[in-house]
A and B are shown apart, each in its own frame.
Chain A
């Protein structure tokens, strides 16, 4: 190794990066400094817009068109990378510094086979030039990345690979030239937690074998602490706190870091207690009455038939089979939801948890009447959704409202906030226009948004604010049930905590029943009373949240729980 142990591999000194816009240069990174030593892993943690990815791209000169380094140095083995010419930086990229990009679904070219893309990287980095050598090395790279029968895999195309396998290929490409530093930019954010865990474990093994230093970029503080010795916390282009991971997590000094640690659901262990939450509804861990209450509720999950009048929502063997076209006229059946049964007591939160493809969203859509049931029944307030005629379904919609995942897609960009919230009132002919106006202002206040927003359009709002507007629209009709389909999954952690708190407050205030669909078990812990763990369309485990977290019965649930990033970090001293 050329670097002398004890000197940093990478030194970033007062780095400033700006983006050229019509109004001048907008700074994205404002004077940051940190070191990376050979063989160590440094995590850069921050919310979207904090400049963490921009920092990573600035290191290897991959800033998008309008971005440029406006000050400071990036010293790699003593050489300033910001002053290198194109040809020189190309010899650094790949060979000395590898990159694992963010989105495995878009980072491989779909028209070339995997072998071509791995071989391209090997040739570009000058690892091998001879055809046979290159191929041999490509197979070796894929084997190291953890793909079985690599020589057959080389001839396959990206669409034949799952997200996790693609990310393995990208990690393989990133490490193909044995770089000294690997930059991993949110490498597993798009993947399911169990896959994420396996991939990061593998990455860790590879890099420690080769003594590769890693800069790991993530928005998840728990994940960062689990995977890196040292953490750099960024906020608005500046470093607010940096140092050893465990120390920062246990004893955050900066108020921003304190907020982040407090808001991280993976580190929290209790359900949010709303100040407004009434005596009856408190599902506290401690307190005997509440525990009894919960146990009774849990029994209801299984004893479905007798108690139907008490539950707001009840699924009985609900099944959805999709026909998937395989040829011109042939199709095969795909069972997305397979005979699921559960019931949700009024005023409580039921979480449906599962990885992508587990059928959780389809279940929600069937209940909302957006997908038809193939067999089974879904009762909402004791009425069968599938048997309803148009008028009955219309009346039901008034009592049952959805909030969807994507904050940027959930509001019509051409309708102002006031009209968006008033739409359900107009459709269901509630009140006159004066009464509607009053109701709009009322719900805006309930979701803590200023009344001036009523005349504004969604594109002025942040993701979290849009999601609050979507919640306001959902509660405008004073429904009994909210279906929250990944409603907080796309939000930054602080905003996510804020919206979760809002949901808990609203539930206590309005006595709402929530069906909470999510892939994130950590969030379940802070919001839900009961949970159904779904796998491949079936419910594998159903119980109270505490029961599932403290005493998981199924192997799959245990695997999911283990995969929660940061779950194993003991914050108690």
Chain B
């Protein structure tokens, strides 16, 4: 600093030595263990939204597995659809009927108990959602993981394949598939039709995560250790990149349930012999003005279920996303 002309000689100040000066880089072992998943769980536990959605989902699952616990009425007992010729009662007498004791939500045009149909339709909607989102997650992880990790022509091939599927709106694609295979309409087929066209977005999310994690030094260190490529992918890369996929999967579960309802409403979904909320909503369109409850109650069941999964996905996202956590 020769060119500068200092105006003063600063006083030499020395702070008092206190005990804050510990050993260099002393190890502090904290009370609690901590890693991404433990931290996320601790965070989740504090979220009311997580608990509300979890309780709702557990309840929905119980309804789906044990419908008999919630309604004594067999689903089609009083319906014209399955009228028992020996029965004295005329089912059409209660067509579009108002709620009476034992039938809290009233009756459909066919004289079916709305409440019973909703309870028994839960299993269908839920299993379509679960199967479809399982397909989406599996395809997404396999395609996205391989594309991101191996790169090169594998990446180009898989991602262009994904683009082809991505370019077709999956509802439109499912409509086409279901119309072509109209003879085989069933829960697994409709789930497959939805899942087969919804995976590219999951694959893209995973691919970008894998690309990021792949650059980490710990991945290079494991390669230098002699860990094979596939093992590195399975042990180090995938576990570190799976968090956003879990979030997207819960949301895609909700979307699949809606998709089934949409397809059934359009008449290309499940056959009317299978009880589902989508079929009920579809059947209600003729009586919308005379008996709106045939539309409203299945719709509420559908919305509440979808809402529960979206809430779960949202709280998972906030717990797992370090950026969202840093903001608090």
Chain A interfacial positions (CB closer than 8 Å to B)? 5-6, 22, 35, 37-41, 204-205, 208, 227-230, 235-236, 238-244, 247-248, 253-256, 259, 368-370, 393-394, 397-398, 401-402, 404-406, 409-416, 423-424, 427-428, 449-450, 452-453, 455-462, 464-465, 470, 473, 494-495, 497-498
Please measure, in the bound complex, the distance between the C-alpha atom of A369 and the C-alpha atom of B225, giving whole angstroms. 11
Given A37-B7, A370-B224, A414-B240, A494:B21 Cβ within 8 A: no
> Which B residues are within 8 Å of any A CB, using their own CB?
1, 3-15, 17, 20-21, 24-25, 27-30, 33-39, 215-218, 220-227, 235-236, 239-240, 328
User: B224 to A368, Cβ gap below 8 A?
Assistant: yes
Beyond A229-B4, A414-B35, is A394–B25 a contact (Cβ under 8 Å)? no
CB proximity of B258 to chain A, nearest CB, Å: 33
Known: A414-B36, A460-B30, A462-B25. A248 touches B1 (CB 8 A): no
Closest approach, in angstroms, between the C-beta of A412 and any C-beta of chain B?
A: 5
Q: Write out the residue numbers on chain B whose beta carbons fall within 8 Å of the beta carbon of A453.
A: 27, 29
CA distance A6 to B7 in the complex (A): 7
- Using CB atoms, name the residue of chain B closest to A476: B225
| The one of A256, A406, A413, A456 that contacts B36, using a Cβ cutoff of 8 Å | A413
Are B1's CB and A5's CB within 8 A?
A: no
User: B34 and A412: CB pair below 8 A?
Assistant: no
A40, B221: Cβ atoms closer than 8 Å:
no
Selected contact of A259 from candidates B20, B24, B217, CB within 8 Å: B24
A318 to chain B, nearest CB (A): 18
Are B27 and A397 in contact, with the CB atoms below 8 A?
no
**Could you say which of B3, B36, B220 contacts A404, with CB atoms under 8 Å apart?**
B220
The 8 Å CB contact of B12, one of A247, A397, A427, is A247
With A397-B224, A449-B27, A464-B25 known as contacts, the answer to whether A412 contacts B218 (CB < 8 A) is yes
| CB–CB A495/B34 < 8 A | no
B328 close to A22 (CB less than 8 A): yes
In the bound complex, CA of A402 to CA of B223 (Å): 10
Q: A243-B12, A259-B24, A404-B221 are in contact. List 10 more A-B contacts (CB 8 A).
A: A204-B1, A236-B20, A253-B14, A254-B14, A398-B226, A401-B224, A401-B225, A414-B35, A452-B29, A464-B25
Q: Could you say which residues of chain B place their CB within 8 Å of the CB of A406? A: 217
Question: A204–B1 Cα gap in the complex (Å)?
Answer: 8
* Residues on B with beta carbons closer than 8 Å to the beta carbon of A404: 217, 220-221
Residues of B within 8 A of A398 (CB): 226
Q: Do the beta carbons of B217 and A238 come within 8 Å of each other?
A: no
A398-B226, A464-B25 known; A473 vs B9 contact (CB < 8 Å): no
Taking a contact as CB atoms closer than 8 A, the residue among A41, A230, A248, A450 that contacts B29 in the complex is A450
Known: A254-B17, A404-B217, A404-B221. A457 touches B4 (CB 8 A): no
Nearest Cβ in chain A — how far from B22, in angstroms? 10
- Residues from chain A with a CB closer than 8 A to the CB of B38 are 457
Contact residues in A for B9 (Cβ distance below 8 Å)? 244
**Chain A residues with Cβ under 8 A from B15's Cβ?**
238-241, 254
Bound Cα distance from A423 to B224, whole angstroms: 12
Known: A253-B12, A254-B15. A459 touches B1 (CB 8 A): no
Tell me if B226 and A394 are in contact (CB < 8 A): yes
Is A229 within 8 A of B12, CB to CB?
no
Nearest-neighbour CB distance to chain B for A230, whole angstroms, equals: 4
Q: Given A405-B217, A414-B37, decide whether A456 and B225 contact each other with a Cβ distance below 8 A.
A: no
Task: Tell me the complex Cα distance, A416–B38, Å.
Answer: 12
Interchain CA distance A247-B13 in the complex, whole Å: 11
**With a CB–CB cut-off of 8 A, which chain A residues contact B328?**
22
Contact in complex: B25, A241 (CB < 8 Å): no
Alpha-carbon separation in the docked complex, A495 to B236 (Å): 28
4 residue pairs, one from A and one from B, having the closest CB atoms = A243-B12, A457-B35, A404-B217, A397-B226
Least Cβ distance of B37 to chain A in Å? Answer: 7
A residues in contact with B28, CB < 8 Å: 460
Contacts of A462 in B (CB 8 A): 25
B3 and A495 contact, CB distance less than 8 A: no
Q: How far is the CA of A394 from the CA of B228 in the complex (A)?
A: 10
- Closest-CB distance, B271 to chain A (whole angstroms): 46
Q: A243-B12, A423-B222 are in contact. Are A229 and B6 (CB under 8 A)?
A: yes
- Distance (whole angstroms) from the CB of B42 to the closest CB of chain A: 12
A residues less than 8 Å from B217 (CB atoms) = 404-406, 409-410
CA distance A65 to B227 in the complex (A): 43
* Sampled A-B contacts (11; CB under 8 Å): A37-B6, A37-B7, A38-B7, A208-B3, A242-B12, A243-B13, A369-B224, A404-B220, A414-B239, A415-B236, A460-B33
- A428 contact set on B, CB distance < 8 A: 225-226
Contact A495 B13 (CB under 8 A): no
Q: Which residues of A lie under 8 Å from residue B225 when comparing CB positions? A: 397, 401, 423-424, 427-428
CA distance A411 to B139 in the complex (A): 29
| Residue of A whose beta carbon sits closest to that of B242 | A414
Given the known A-B contacts A236-B20, A404-B217, A457-B33, are A465 and B3 also in contact in the complex, defined by CB atoms under 8 Å?
no
Q: Which residues of B contact A38 (CB under 8 A)?
A: 7
**Nearest-neighbor residue (CB-CB) of A483 within chain B:** B224
Taken together as a complex, chains A and B put the C-alpha atoms of A6 and B6 apart, in Å, by: 11
Q: Within the assembled complex, what's the spacing in Å between the Cα atoms of A212 and B215?
A: 43
> Contact check: which of A204, A235, A401, A457 meets B34 at CB < 8 Å?
A457
* Residue from B17, B25, B226 within 8 A of A498 (CB atoms): B25
* Contact in complex: B25, A205 (CB < 8 Å): no
Instruction: Write the chain A residue with the least CB distance to B236.
Output: A412
Cα–Cα distance between A372 and B10 once the two chains are bound (Å): 57
A37 with B8, Cβ < 8 A, contacts A423-B222, A427-B226, A462-B25 known = yes
Taking the nearest CB of chain A, how far is it from the CB of B24, in angstroms? Answer: 5
B37 to A, closest residue via Cβ: A414
Residue of B nearest to A410 (CB): B217
A255–B224 CA distance with the chains assembled, in angstroms: 41
Asked whether, in the complex, the Cβ of B224 is within 8 Å of the Cβ of A494, the reply is no
In the complex, what residue of chain B is closest to A263 when comparing beta carbons? Answer: B24
With beta carbons under 8 angstroms apart, the residue of A22, A450, A498 that contacts B24 is A498
B327 and chain A: residue at smallest CB distance: A65
Residue of A nearest to B7 (CB): A37
Residue among B24, B33, B36, B235 with most chain A CB within 10 A: B24
A465 and B12 within 8 A (CB): no
A230 near B10 with CB under 8 A, answer: yes
Residues of B within 8 A of A459 (CB): 34-36, 39
**Taking CB as reference atom, which chain B residue is nearest A414?**
B239
CA distance A96 to B216 in the complex (A): 43
Chain B residue at smallest Cβ distance from A407: B217
Q: Write out the residue numbers on chain A whose beta carbons fall within 8 Å of the beta carbon of B30.
A: 460
**Which residue of A has the minimal Cβ distance to B39?**
A459
| CB <8 Å contact, A456 and B24 | no
| Inter-subunit contact B13/A239 (CB<8 Å) | yes
Write out the residue numbers on chain B whose beta carbons fall within 8 Å of the beta carbon of A369: 224
Cα–Cα, bound, A368→B226 (Å): 10
Q: Can you name the residue of chain B whose Cβ is closest to the Cβ of A239?
A: B15
